[in-house]
């Protein structure tokens, strides 16, 4: 038996069939290897990467200002908790609705654009949002100091306990993965991929691509806002770092590292980026430089990202006779 072939095959088959269980197991394992606190952060960040991937990976629109939507969710959650109700679920709902509303308002301006224009308009709005949170609305947001957030215990959900936050974040991630898979495997996903490749051709088939792009944009902003709210649920405070446009680079890095346009790629990218940014500073003083080198390598050499290369490697494996039959290749003929 050729173990080098059958083990990866077995792993991929297992992943395909029980992927949700495998993902749960991996995150549980991560709590043992690092810490529960960090694992929660990783999972929420993965939700943000998945949200970003709807636009970048599937629709081919690179945004330099996605922290705006994450920050909107974060502040909406915090302000709801502060001013309206301490019910965390109501605050989460308001956060997602705020993300959707912002998408609905900005979408008609943003989704008409492509390329650099799309990226920079998002950045411009992000900068505007950052200024509003930092200065104009500092009376409510606490400006640079930020604000603390307290939420009530609702039924069994006591979010002051890390295990509750962990379970809720994990459940949220699984639900988002499920939704993303349904979305991307549907006709809507096909349309997004079509728009990524050639929007005009999709129009000529009879589709209103503006409507499709608007829906994708609102899904992305809502999910980003949800991730922002979860971050605040975890940290119990919000500062302007949650809406800082400079931090948009994190989600871009994660998408590139993992491989855009794939649910597994977003997860691999989210976890990889967080591992690098959390642990590399322990060993390398100017770790951002290392990240820059990684970006250069990704852009010039490994554009498919981690998951893209795993997929390509597996496809090659499947294409070989041994890969198909599970038998070792014949030698000496």
Partner 1 sequence: MLLAVDHIDVFYGSARVLSEVSLQARQGEVVFIVGRNGAGKTTMLKTIAGFLHPGRGAITFAGQDITGLTPDKVARLGIRYVFQDKRVFTKLTVKENIELAAYAAGVKLSEALERMLQIYPKISRFLDSTAGGLSGGQRQLLLIGRAMVGSPRLLLIDEPTEGLAAGTIEEVLKVLELMRGEVTMVIVEQNLSVVSRLADRIYCMKEGHIPAALSEPADIQNQSYLETYL
Cβ proximity to partner 1, 88 vs 189, nearer residue:
189
Nearer to partner 1, 191 or 225 (CB): 191
184 near partner 1 (CB under 8 A): no
Which helix (H) or strand (E) segment holds residue 237: the answer is strand 237-238
* Range 37-40, long-range pairs (CB < 8 A, 24+ positions): 37/162, 38/274, 38/278, 39/166, 40/162, 40/165, 40/166, 40/169, 40/234
Q: What's phi and psi for 66, nearest 5 deg?
A: -75, -15
Please identify, using beta-carbon distances, which residue of 200 and 282 lies nearer to partner 1. Answer: 200
Residue 121 contacts residue 184 (beta carbons within 8 Å): no
Our finding on whether 111 is near partner 1 (CB under 8 A) is: no
Minimum separation from the CB atom of position 56 to partner 1 (A): 15
Shortest distance, position 310 Cβ to partner 1, whole Å: 18
- The reply on whether position 193 binds partner 1 by CB under 8 A is yes
Kindly tell me which of 21 and 190 has the beta carbon lying closer to partner 1.
190
Instruction: Pick the binder of partner 1 from 201, 303, 316, 324 (CB under 8 A).
Output: 201
Q: Does 305 bind partner 1 (CB under 8 A)?
A: no
- 194 scored as a contact of partner 1 (CB under 8 A): yes
Antiparallel, parallel or unpaired: β 237-238 and 147-148: antiparallel
Closest distance to partner 1 from the beta carbon of 207 (Å): 6
Tell me: does residue 200 bind partner 1 (CB under 8 A): yes
User: Interaction with partner 1 in 12-51: which residues (CB under 8 A)?
Assistant: none
Shortest Å, Cβ 210 to partner 1: 9
* Cα distance between residue 25 and residue 48, in whole Å: 20
What single-letter DSSP state applies at residue 130?
H
What is the distance of C-alpha 169 from the center of its chain? 13
The single residue among 31, 141, 172, 209 that binds partner 1, judged by CB under 8 A, is 209
Residue 180's H or E segment, with its range, is helix 162-184
Q: Does 191 bind partner 1 (CB under 8 A)?
A: yes
**Binder to partner 1 among 144, 145, 208, 288 (CB under 8 A)?**
208
Location of structure tokens 């939700």: 47
198 touches partner 1 (CB under 8 A)? yes
Contacts for 62 with CB less than 8 Å, ≥ 6 apart: 55, 56, 115, 118, 119, 252
Residue 98 or residue 209: which is nearer to partner 1 going by CB? 209
- State the number of binding residues for partner 1 (CB under 8 A): 18
With 0-12 / 13-18 / 19 or more C-beta atoms within 10 angstroms meaning exposed / middle / buried, residue 124 is: middle
Q: Judged by CB under 8 A, does residue 197 bind partner 1?
A: yes
Provide DSSP, 19-36. Answer: HHHHHHHHHHHHHHHS-H
Closer to partner 1 by Cβ: residue 137 or 207: 207
Q: Which residues bind partner 1 (CB under 8 A)?
A: 187, 190-191, 193-194, 196-198, 200-209
């Amino acid at each position: 038996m050729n173990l080098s072939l059958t083990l990866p095959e077995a792993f991929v088959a297992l992943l395909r069939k029980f992927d949700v269980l495998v993902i749960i197991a991996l995150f549980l394992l991560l709590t043992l290897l690092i810490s529960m606190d960090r694992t929660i952060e990783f999972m929420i960040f993965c939700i943000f990467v998945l949200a970003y991937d709807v636009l970048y990976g599937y629709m081919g629109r690179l945004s330099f200002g996605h922290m705006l939507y994450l920050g909107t969710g974060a502040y909406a959650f915090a302000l709801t908790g502060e001013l309206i109700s301490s019910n965390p679920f109501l605050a989460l709902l308001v956060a997602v609705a705020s993300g959707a509303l912002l998408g609905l308002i900005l979408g008609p301006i943003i989704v008409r654009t492509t390329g650099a224009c799309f990226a920079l308009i998002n950045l411009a709005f992000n900068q505007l949002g950052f200024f509003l949170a930092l200065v104009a609305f500092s009376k409510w947001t606490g400006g640079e100091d930020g604000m603390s957030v307290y939420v009530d215990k609702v039924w069994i959900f006591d979010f002051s306990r890390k295990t509750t936050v962990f379970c809720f974040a994990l459940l949220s991630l699984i639900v988002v993965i499920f939704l993303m898979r349904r979305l991307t495997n549907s006709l809507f996903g096909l349309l997004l991929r079509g728009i990524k490749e050639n929007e005009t051709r999709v129009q000529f088939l009879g589709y209103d691509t503006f409507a499709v792009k608007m829906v994708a944009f609102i899904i992305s902003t809502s999910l980003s806002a949800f991730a922002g709210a979860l971050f605040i649920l975890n940290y119990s405070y919000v500062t302007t770092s949650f809406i800082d446009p400079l931090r948009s680079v994190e989600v871009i890095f994660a998408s590139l590292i993992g491989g855009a346009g794939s649910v597994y790629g977003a997860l691999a990218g989210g976890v990889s980026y967080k591992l690098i940014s959390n642990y590399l500073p322990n060993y390398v003083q100017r770790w951002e430089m290392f990240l820059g080198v990684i970006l250069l390598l990704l852009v010039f050499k490994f554009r498919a990202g981690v998951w893209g290369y795993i997929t390509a490697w597996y496809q090659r494996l499947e294409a070989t006779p041994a890969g198909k039959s599970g038998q070792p290749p014949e030698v000496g003929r």
